[in-house]
Amino acid sequence: MPEAANAGISRHRASAVEAVQAWLHEFDTGVRALGKDALDRYRDRALFIGWRLNVCLAGSQGVQLDLLLDERFPRTEPRVALVPGSVEGDVPHADSDGVLCLFPSTESFAITAPVDLVRVALQRAVRLLEDTISKQIEGDLRTEFLSYWKHHTTNSTPPVLSLLDSVQGTRPIRAWCGRSIYVVEESADAVTTYLRRRFPEGGAGFETETAGLLWIERAPLPAEYPRTASDVLELASSTNETARKMLEDLVMSAPRRVVVILGVPTDHGPAFAAVVVDSPSRSNTPGHRGGDPLTAGFRPGRTPGSVISQRFFGRQPLRRAAVERIDPEWIHGRGADARVKRLQVARVAICGCGSVGAPVAIALAQAGVGEIVLIDPQVLATANTGRHVLGAESVGMNKAEALEQHLRRRFPHLKTIRSFAQRWDQAMRKAPQEFATCDLIVSAIGDWSAEGALNEWHVRQGRRQPIVYGWTEAYACAGHAVAILAAGGCLQCGLTEFGEPMLRVTDWPAGPTVRQEPACGSTFQPYGPVELMYVTALVAELSLDCILGSVTESTERLWAASDSHRQRAGGVWSDEWRKLAADGLVGGRVAERSWPRSTKCSECMGGTA
């Protein structure tokens, strides 16, 4: 077989499989190899070989297990699956195809002991099944509620995407029910805002429905999952009167269906599941001869709410659906990052949406910053796309407006994204509140006249919020991120009158590094996006630190590229940088220093202005 055809297949596999097979026949004389039909039951697992074993558990109960090896064994763990019908009820730590979860994802394996690895897998499987039969691990079924609920969902029901707050409490919510997904949120406006960003081609046609979040005290076991509409009403009634009253209110308008989200606490945080209750139709109501089965026997408008709810939540089967959380708290840390709540309410204005400002905007959005204002007067050109986050589809568009569209589609859950196709000063005159209410301004303009004017404005208004300035040196061999706060120097304090940093990381003995296109005034710096990533990460990290309050005075962070990159570009380390890097490590590092006031500063005059 050609080498390419063997890619990914372990050269240790043949001897490992031979050793395992010999041991299995000693372990169980009735062991038999699985045929193609049996292996097809696990078709999504790229299996190579498998055997069926008869295993005796404590109490002399016999079960059948399938031992399964994939193409990369023994570098990957063996799988053990419970053959259907071997054990009554649901088994914890089992996937829908019966394969048991026996090894944590962080566990590694010694390829020299394949038999020992198989023995451990079977021992763990037996222990799990014995504990299941003796009812000792019901807690696992509750703690890992989402896994087992997913096994019991209804195939015909679309998945439910949840933007709900994870705050406990029963309450009415809103739902949009599409053909392939449902979306639930706290309010109708929040649902439609998300959908218009996610599906802009859908126009304004997103009508929401009444829905409810039913918070219950603990996760149910699989045997307790609601199966009929009446089970949902009973579950609400057993929770509290508020929950029952909410369900009654939801069905008073006789909707086609009601989406009910079940919120449950677990040891690993809150979990959500969904049930969909369809209204009983005229045709499937036993003994019904016409009219609305919800109000039959009562005058129009006189049917008691309790009667409508009892009829709506009748004995008809319900639909169960999985819930996927898409709220900011989950997306930006899976509910475990304490910073997200602060970032969600932060507002950041980014002046300059070029090859530095645009990736910084995306990084802040990915981190969870809820409100982003984008400002740039320039149009994206074809030559920009080599190191810009936007591609050919945005050529000819204003950079800020195109980036806004990109962020809206990519992060539709964010609170506010707005753009101005103008210079920063024009945008400020047009919408001064956008600046006045910012927690942070990021300047990646790369033009001293514009940034000098921004610094002048910042000093004049008392430096009420931080500004982070970011720029690169020649060939992206170094990067600067400077945070200007109320304490410490202003931007001008560390720059010459021409806007050049007093501390440069690199010098260029061969002379100017700027190149020119064959056109009047069209200059550029030749470097690529890989080198630039270090600079944008530097700026984004300092920006986050300012939002979160860990930077309290004007600070500069500097990044120096690797020695090899600097040498290829033809630069040398400056004397100032060598002095700052006193430990002798000058390339491939980040340094930090304060940005002090200067008594010679023409802008803030050392803080006396």
- Domain shared by 541 and 585, yes or no: yes
- Domain shared by 97 and 119, yes or no: yes
Residues whose CB falls within 8 Å of the CB of residue 71, separated by 6 or more in sequence, listed in order: 8, 9, 10, 13, 46, 47, 48
- Domain shared by 51 and 156, yes or no: no
**Is the Cβ–Cβ distance between 117 and 77 less than 8 Å?**
yes
- Domain shared by 479 and 576, yes or no: yes
Q: What pLDDT is recorded for position 525?
A: 67
Which DSSP category does 239 fall into? Answer: H
Produce one character per residue of 531-540: b if its CB has 16 or more CB atoms within 10 Å, e if not.
bbebbbbbbb
**Final residue belonging to a domain, choices 106, 136, 166:** 136
Q: What pLDDT is recorded for position 471?
A: 95
H-helix or E-strand containing 49?
A: strand 47-56
Position 291 in a domain: no
Position 472 in a domain: yes
> What would the two tokens of residue 494 be?
């560390």
Position 586 in a domain: yes
Choose among 106, 98, 97, 155: nearest CA to 125. 98
- Domain shared by 113 and 226, yes or no: no
**Is the Cβ–Cβ distance between 308 and 248 less than 8 Å?**
yes
Q: Distance between CA atoms of 461 and 510, rounded to whole angstroms?
A: 42
- Domain shared by 547 and 415, yes or no: yes
H-helix or E-strand containing 321?
A: strand 319-325
Residues whose CB falls within 8 Å of the CB of residue 139, separated by 6 or more in sequence, listed in order: none
Position 589 in a domain: yes
- Domain shared by 189 and 277, yes or no: yes
Position 333 in a domain: no
Which DSSP category does 279 fall into? Answer: P
Q: pTM for this structure?
A: 0.82
Burial class (CB in 10 A: 0-12, 13-18, 19+), 160: buried
Give me the half-sphere count of Cα atoms (radius 13 Å) on the Cβ side of residue 55: 27
Q: What pLDDT is recorded for position 41?
A: 87
Q: What pLDDT is recorded for position 561?
A: 93
**Is the Cβ–Cβ distance between 119 and 128 less than 8 Å?**
no
Cα dist from 162 to 126, 153, 182, 207, 426, whole Å: 38, 16, 8, 16, 39
- Domain shared by 423 and 569, yes or no: yes
Q: What pLDDT is recorded for position 517?
A: 67
Q: Distance between CA atoms of 227 and 122, rounded to whole angstroms?
A: 35
**Final residue belonging to a domain, choices 86, 107, 136:** 136
Q: What pLDDT is recorded for position 10?
A: 60
Cβ count within 10 A of residue 234 = 14
Position 416 in a domain: yes
Q: Distance between CA atoms of 354 and 397, rounded to whole angstroms?
A: 13
Q: What pLDDT is recorded for position 520?
A: 60
> What would the two tokens of residue 188 be?
């109708």
- Sequence length of the chain is 609
Q: Distance between CA atoms of 380 and 394, rounded to whole angstroms?
A: 7
Cβ count within 10 A of residue 302 = 8
- Domain shared by 89 and 169, yes or no: no
Q: What pLDDT is recorded for position 9?
A: 52
What is the span of the domain harbouring residue 45?
3-136
CATH number for 63: 3.10.110
In DSSP terms, 55 is beta-bridged to 63
Q: What pLDDT is recorded for position 27?
A: 74
- Domain shared by 400 and 484, yes or no: yes
Position 142 in a domain: no
Residues whose CB falls within 8 Å of the CB of residue 164, separated by 6 or more in sequence, listed in order: 173, 184, 185, 186, 213, 261, 272, 325, 327
Q: Which residues of the chain are under the pLDDT cut of 70?
A: 1-11, 29, 60, 89, 203-204, 281-291, 297, 514-517, 519-525, 607-609
Q: How many domains does the chain have?
A: 3
> What would the two tokens of residue 465 be?
């919020």
User: Which tens digits make up the pLDDT trace of 413-426?
Assistant: 999 999 999 999 99
Choose among 295, 321, 79: nearest CA to 180. 321
**Ordered strands of the 347-351 beta sheet:** 416-420, 371-375, 347-351, 440-443, 467-472, 478-484, 555-560, 589-594
* The amino acid at 5: A
Q: What pLDDT is recorded for position 118?
A: 93
Cα dist from 520 to 141, 299, 512, 584, whole Å: 71, 84, 18, 43
Supply the DSSP string of 338-382, one letter for each residue. TTHHHHHT-EEEEE--STTHHHHHHHHHHHT--EEEEE--PBPPG
Q: What pLDDT is recorded for position 4?
A: 40
Position 292 in a domain: no
User: Which tens digits make up the pLDDT trace of 228-278?
Assistant: 999 999 999 999 999 999 999 998 887 889 999 999 998 888 999 999 999
- Domain shared by 265 and 370, yes or no: no
- Domain shared by 105 and 173, yes or no: no
Produce one character per residue of 308-319: b if its CB has 16 or more CB atoms within 10 Å, e if not.
bbebbbbebebb
β-pairing, 440-443 with 347-351?
A: parallel
Residues whose CB falls within 8 Å of the CB of residue 106, separated by 6 or more in sequence, listed in order: none
**Final residue belonging to a domain, choices 113, 136, 159:** 136
* The amino acid at 53: L
